[in-house]
Structures are given as C-alpha cells and as structure tokens.
Chains A and B, each alone.
Chain A
Amino acid sequence: MEQVEVVFGLPGGCILPAYDPILDSPIRHILVRHEQGAGHMAEGYAHVTGRPGVALVTSGPAATNLVTPLCDAYMDSVPMVAITGQVGRPVIGTDGFQECDTVGITRSVTKHNELIMDPDEIPLIVRQAFLLATTGRPGPVLIDVPKDVLQAQMDWSWPSDDEVAGSLPGYKPTLKGHPRMIKEAARLLADARRPVIYAGGGILKSRAAEALAQLAERTGIPVVTTLMARGAFPDDHPLCLGMPGMHGNYTAITAMQNSDLLVALGTRFDDRVTGKVDSFAPDAKVIHVDIDPAELGKIRQPDVPIVGDCKQVISEIVRALADLELPDLGEWRSRISGWQERFPLYYEPHVQGDALKPQQVMEVLRDSAPEGTILASGVGQHQMWASQYWRFNEPYTWVNSGGLGTMGFSVPAAIGAKVGRPDRTVWAVDGDGCFQMTAQELVTASSERIPIKVAILNNAYLGMVRQWQEMFYEERYSEVYLSPDLPDYVKWAEAMGCVAFRVEDPEEVEPVIAKANSIDDRPVVIDFRTDSREKVFPMVPAGASNDDVVVHPAQKPTDKKVVQ
C-alpha cells in the first residue's frame, strides 16, 4: 500500500467515519491544534524524509484552514496528500452545514484534486494521489470525500501500478534528457570560461545532491544554492558560493552576473533570485534542466532546454563530458575568491549594553548544533540570517517556506520534521511575528512528545517589513511594532508544556543553547532579545538589477560594479 506511517490531522463531523478506524490502525495520528499546523507538519515531514506528508481534516472551515499549506507546498513542490471530509452527496450544492467547495477553492493551489463520488473509486483515487504527489514535479494533491462515501460499502480492490498509470492517460513525466540536448549542454560546458551552476530545490526533490557534486568536481564549476536548495551542495565545499538572490551573498550574486554560462538545475528563475530579469546575468548562455517543461522559457529563454529528472540528466551530462577536454577555470575561480575576500557576510560586532546581534545568535546556534541538526525557519529577517549564517553540509537539513513565504511555517514544519527524523536535533529559528501565528502547535509537540527546539529572534518588530519601511519609506514605521514582552514568550511557552528561557546577555547565548541542546524529553523555547535595528545585508532592492546589490554600509561599496 502507500506505507503511510503518520498522519497529521484534526477530526470533525464529515470526516468522523475516517477517524473511527484510526483507533485500531498502526498509523500514528498527530492531533494538531489548527489545521494549518497539520498542513505545515506534513510539509516538514516531506521535506526531510522525501516521503509524502499526509494531512487529514474535516470539511468547510477545516478545509479552508488547509489552503495556506497547500499553496505553500504547491509553490515549493512539496509532496503532500491532503484528505478532507465533505458533506454527504445528497447535500452537496445546497450550502449544507460546513459545506464548502473544497475542490474549487484548492484547484489552483494543488497539483491535482479530486472529489470522490463513488465509494468504489476510493482505492484508485488514493493511489493516484500518492503517485501524483511524489512523481514528476512533486506537489500537494487533495482528496475530498463526502461523509456518505466514507460510510458506504464498497468492493475492496487495490489497483496495480500499471492500472494506476493507465488510469492517468495525460500524466507522463519525462525523466530522461534528450540525447542531443545533453550533448549540446556538454559542448557549452566545455566552451565556458566563466560558468556557474545555479542549483535549485529540484536537486533535492530528485535526490541529485551526489550527482551535482560529481558534476561540480568533474568540471570545477562553482555552485550557488538557492534558498530552496541550501544543503544540496555542501557549504564547506571550496566550490560552494552559497545563496544568491535578494539577500544572497555578494559573491554568489556577482558571479552569476558575470558568468558566461548558467547551468540552471531544478530551479525556476524566481524573481527573488534574478532581480530585474532584463539585466540578470546578461552575458550568460543558459542550460536549463527541469522536470517541469513549463519552467523552461517561462522567465528566461534557455539556450539548451532539457526536460528531465535532475539526477538522471546530470549523470547523463557527466557521462557526455567524458570525451571532452574541459577548460581550466583557475582564472575565473580566482576572480571569485577575490570577491569572497572583499565582501564576506558582515555585521557590526555587539556593543556593550545593546541588545543581542541576531547574526551572532545564529552563529552560536550553528556552532553548538549537534551533527546532522535540521533547521526550520519562519519568514522574515530571521529566515535570511538563518540561511546566510548556517553551514548546510548535508541535504534535507533545511526546511523553509520559499515560494509562498508563509509566516508561521517554522513551528509546525519543525514538528513534522522531527516526526520524520526523530533521531535528529531539530531547531526552528522563528521571528516574534511568525511565532505568534502558529505557536499553539507547541501544545501538539508537548502532548505528542515531539521535542523540537525553537529560537525566537525577538526583535519586537515585523522586522523584514520594518527594514523596507526604513530603507524605502523614509523610516515611516507603519504597523510593524510588536513589543518585546507582550506576549511573555517564556510564560506562554511554559503554559504550552515547554521548557523556556530568555536571553538578553551575549554571555548567556552559548550556555543557554547548550542547555537547550541537552533537553530531549520536551520542546524548548528560547526568547532571544535581539537588536531591532539590524538589517539584512547584502540586499538587492525589489525590482532592482543584481548589479546594484547593496552591501553592509561598513563594507566599502566602491568599485563594486565589476567589469569584465
């Protein structure tokens, strides 16, 4: 069958018939406090295990509560199966109690969805859902089941793989790259003098990290890893340039801008990466590999489009390189290391009496983390600092909301990740704003004994919005102040069954983190009081060209525009 070991959910009227058998089922059910939490937990679980996360909720308000995680999973191609209850078939269309048009509402945020009107179709539709969620470009699939369909008698059957494939005549993902295009890609690779590998989340989805390392090492081409691909290539590898994009590091951005060949692998030229599209990597030829044909040419016309599974295509390219002489990229790499030396990530050191530096908290958290720690994050400044300052050396250790940018993602996603990888330490780095959106799931974590750890970078602000207001709205701060101690995060966390600490003194950062790391029987929350004036640098202002990346004011921005 589908080998589901855990389901995240919350029951209600229409889904009741599906909940009764859970009492006798080997499947673990995790009772959430809000259905959004169930969805993000399913995502967190899927991110770290590669297996589809499953959410089970009732009709109407429960289904609408699931819309945000579905959209999140859709944007980030996360395999997920959502099962929603629906009013009985005779009631559908009459505005029955807790009726809503779930398939209508979720159509544009799912890879596919289906309302089951015939109980005999349940097995096939379930099998289709898991196949669709996990193959091709992964994504969320929703199954809506009317209550009377759940209660009906049906003839049991379990369709074979062939029957499932045959039942989807319009679904045939292309996995293997076109041989001529592979050859052409190899030729461009052999000709390039300033190439950059632009690795996206598709590398992780296709489990291609090893293949990527082979390609990089065989060619000596430096690699940038997007926000969705952190960990797909080790940060401590000499060829790794880190994250590109709006808050990427100077070198990653500038290397792409100056490149003559972008090898785009499982990535979609998101506006947060490209900046102004017209001036993005203007001299670069593009090899674009993606399993979703619609991504090729959507934003940037590739010179060599390759539809296929990243892992397979990369291996095919590596094989095609075998008989080619590859250029020496020493000169290009030394230009790159020049940028790395001149423009490393930078923040001003802490001054006695000031609040904590959020970047410093991240560094201590990183340096104290046990081997293999999984990091989840919310959305905002803290997310960018987490991505910038962590060292991701292993795939599937970074769980974040990239495409949708969903505040409130981190706590439930971390819970899902910990359920999927109970052997790992799981830290959630959260903002004070984000934390207030889904913190109630810590009750779930406590009662289900899922010992995650949460570091709140509490700057008393919707910090990312504050940063934009400071930089682009003349410091007119409109509705971004949150207060550092309302709520009292320590009391709140304790009320939810967690161990909680507050840290204001830089001297305490390390010992308190060490204490948190030693607790393994319940969730831990640390309220770090951080400096609200800190901004995330570098920054490419929205709509600006990547040539105009703004570095930290203390770093000399002179001659930052690099000419060939």
Chain B
Amino acid sequence: MSLNPTHQTLTVLVENKSGVLARISGLFARRGFNIISLAVAPTDDERFSRVNLVIDVEETSVEQITKQLFKLVNVVKITELHPADAVERELLMMTVAVSPEQRSEVIELVGIFEGKIVDVGTSAVTVMVAGEPDRLDDFEDLMRPYGIAELQRTGRVALPKARKAS
C-alpha cells in the first residue's frame, strides 16, 4: 500500500455526529469514487472528528471529490495533503507463525522497525509496528516468509508538517 502517484490523502474535519461516516462512504459509493484507506478519530475539540481518507484520483479528479465532500453539511474543512507536505503514520498488528528457533530473528527485525512484541505463544508471536506506510509495507514483505497468520492495519493518519502549518 505504498503511496502511489494516483493516490492522495484528504484530511476531512467533520462534525462529531452520528451518521457522518455513512454520509461520506455513501457519497463515495454513489459517485463512484474509490476509497483506499480510511481512518477516523476524535480531535482535541470534542465537537469535531478528523477523517483521513486516502483516495484514488486516477478515475475522478481530487477537485471533484473534494467539492462533493464539501457539500455535506457536516463537513467543516478539507485539507489536501500532498505526500511531500505531510507526516503520515499507520499502525500495523500482525501475528507471525514462527517456530521457537526462528523467533529471535523476528524479534530482531521488529527491533529494527522500532516495533513491539505484544504477545508470545509457543508457535506464534504478535507484533505491533507503527510508522510510515511505506515502511510497514517493507516490514510486511520481510515477515511474509515466516508466515503471516493475521494482519491488521489501521489505515493512515496524517497531519501537515509542522513547518507548513500556520
């Protein structure tokens, strides 16, 4: 899920109300826009939530998607984040089927990626890594030969780089 030039991140500030997410996903479905990943979280102001959307801008222009989103009454602000201007992070949790003999190799790799071992069993470990989405892709590739039993990624969250923010 590396950042492809046809992908773009939108940070959408929405009113913290029930149904807002359904409005956004309904809009995408109806207009034939593609969501690649989506993450929602409250902000420091309890009236609002922030939705991070990675969208596919190959078929539809980001401008049209943004304008349609902005028509939703509960959408307050939309920021287009160009990868170069943004810090983006994602969280990955993974259970790796690994024998006790190979466990230390996995632990070493998790260390290199600044991750954590969150659970250990006799023939598997569950690990957690947070980082740039590209890095998580690399980590996934490295783990694959050991055998990925379960994988969960959160979708990316993003903020403008501090020096860009006013």
A169 within 8 A of B: yes
CA distance A240 to B76 in the complex (A): 42
B154 within 8 A of A: no
Q: What 1/0 mask marks residues of chain B from 48 to 89 whose CB sits below 8 Å from any chain A CB?
A: 000000000000010110011011111111000000000000
A170 within 8 A of B: yes
Contact A170 B64 (CB under 8 A): no
B30 within 8 A of A: yes
Q: Which residues of A contact B64 (CB under 8 A)?
A: 294, 297-298
| Minimum CB–CB distance for B93 against chain A, Å | 31
Q: Which residues of B contact A103 (CB under 8 A)?
A: 19
Contact A112 B73 (CB under 8 A): yes
Contact B73 A107 (CB under 8 A): no
A168 within 8 A of B: yes
Q: Which of B22, B30, B76 makes the CB contact (< 8 A) with A170?
A: B76
Residue from B47, B67, B68, B72 with most neighbouring chain A CB atoms (10 Å) = B67
CA distance A108 to B25 in the complex (A): 11
CA distance A537 to B70 in the complex (A): 40
CA distance A495 to B71 in the complex (A): 47
Residues from 169 to 184 in A contacting B, C-beta threshold 8 Å: 169-171
A170-B63 CB under 8 A given contacts A107-B22, A293-B70, A294-B68? no
Q: Which residues of B contact A349 (CB under 8 A)?
A: none
CA distance A173 to B28 in the complex (A): 22
Contact B72 A294 (CB under 8 A): no
Q: Which of B26, B30, B73 makes the CB contact (< 8 A) with A171?
A: B73
| Minimum CB–CB distance for B21 against chain A, Å | 12
> How extensive is the interface on chain A, given as a class?
10 to 19
Residue of B nearest to A293 (CB): B67
Contact B74 A170 (CB under 8 A): yes
Q: Which residues of A contact B63 (CB under 8 A)?
A: 297
Contact B73 A170 (CB under 8 A): yes
> How extensive is the interface on chain B, given as a class?
20 to 34
B23 within 8 A of A: yes
Q: What 1/0 mask marks residues of chain A from 154 to 195 whose CB sits below 8 Å from any chain B CB?
A: 000000000000001111000000000000000000000000
Contact B26 A107 (CB under 8 A): yes
Contact B15 A170 (CB under 8 A): yes
A169-B15 CB under 8 A given contacts A293-B70, A294-B71? yes
A93 within 8 A of B: no
A527 within 8 A of B: no
CA distance A170 to B76 in the complex (A): 4
| Minimum CB–CB distance for A266 against chain B, Å | 16
A132 within 8 A of B: yes
Q: Which residues of A contact B23 (CB under 8 A)?
A: 107
| Minimum CB–CB distance for B96 against chain A, Å | 39
CA distance A115 to B22 in the complex (A): 14
| Minimum CB–CB distance for A356 against chain B, Å | 43
Contact B70 A132 (CB under 8 A): no
A169-B71 CB under 8 A given contacts A104-B22, A108-B30, A297-B64? no
Residue from B63, B64, B70, B73 with most neighbouring chain A CB atoms (10 Å) = B73
Q: What would 13 A/B residue contacts be, using CB atoms closer than 8 Å?
A: A107-B19, A107-B22, A108-B30, A115-B19, A169-B47, A170-B70, A171-B73, A293-B67, A294-B64, A294-B67, A294-B68, A294-B71, A298-B64
- Closest 3 A/B residue pairs (Cβ): A294-B67, A170-B76, A112-B73
Q: Knowing that A108-B30, A170-B72, A297-B61 touch, tell me 20 more A-B residue pairs with CB under 8 angstroms.
A: A103-B19, A107-B19, A111-B73, A115-B19, A132-B73, A169-B47, A169-B76, A170-B14, A170-B15, A170-B73, A170-B74, A170-B76, A171-B73, A292-B71, A293-B67, A293-B70, A294-B67, A294-B70, A294-B71, A297-B63
